[in-house]
Amino acid sequence: MTAASSSAGVQLPLPLGWKAARGQKDFFVSAANAEAVRFLDGWATWPVPVALLVGPRGAGKSHLGHIFARRANARLLDDADMSATDEALFHAWNEAVDSRRPLLLTARSAPADWHIALPDLRSRLAATPMVRIGPPDDALLAHVFAKLWRDRGITPPPDLAPYVLRRIPRSFEALGAAVEALDAAALAQRRPLSVPLARAALLDLVSPADEQAADA
């Protein structure tokens, strides 16, 4: 989505396409992903030119992966645990070793949970170094919240992030769902983002107990 200004000078959403920013300046380093950043910076010391970046949905795996691919002239395979066949992964792994061109696989879980049928692939992935993006901290959640709106061309009011982040589960997936719900409500009602809009739009995402705890 992108935004338009109303006669009152506030931003309203328009049903247009939007694209997530994946530049290095858009990536926020916090305690949740600092280890992954350091690991990718040291790619020249990997025992094999293949690595796994594991983390929950919305954690920034693709964003960090694209930054790494540009910096290291590496190949990136996103969602390797969901979108690639055993044969495709096997050949990609072998090609990376033969060409010495780094290959980064992103996934939501470790290979032990992938139900791999090809024994040779299973053994290769078992020997592949892996790093995780951890659960989000407060600073990262706030940054991701702002970035999700920035990707849409919208600047939310300053009181919206504290209100939302106190009420939703502390996960990237919940944060993404909250932004989608707010964006849809603002578009459907032709209203700017606000705390009153969020109070109604997030009813299905926030339990009464969480609401009471947030207001305590």
Pairing type for strands 11-14 and 2-5 reads antiparallel
Structure tokens at 40: 């990718």
**In this predicted model, what pLDDT tens digit does every residue of 12-43 receive, in sequence order?**
333 334 344 455 666 888 888 999 999 999 99
Q: Of 43, 86, 174, which Cα lies nearest the Cα of 53? A: 43
Nearest-angstrom CA–CA distance, 132 and 210? 28
For residues 117-138, average pLDDT? 94
Is 50 exceeded by the pLDDT of residue 172?
Answer: yes
**In this predicted model, what pLDDT tens digit does every residue of 93-123 receive, in sequence order?**
999 999 999 999 999 999 999 999 999 999 9
Percent of the chain past pLDDT 70, that is, above it, reads 83
Q: Of 68, 70, 78, which Cα lies nearest the Cα of 105? A: 78
For residues 39-65, average pLDDT? 93
**In this predicted model, what pLDDT tens digit does every residue of 138-159 receive, in sequence order?**
888 998 899 899 999 999 999 9
Residue 145 phi, psi dihedral angles, 5° rounding: -60, -50
What's the pLDDT score for residue 59? 84
Is 90 exceeded by the pLDDT of residue 124?
Answer: yes
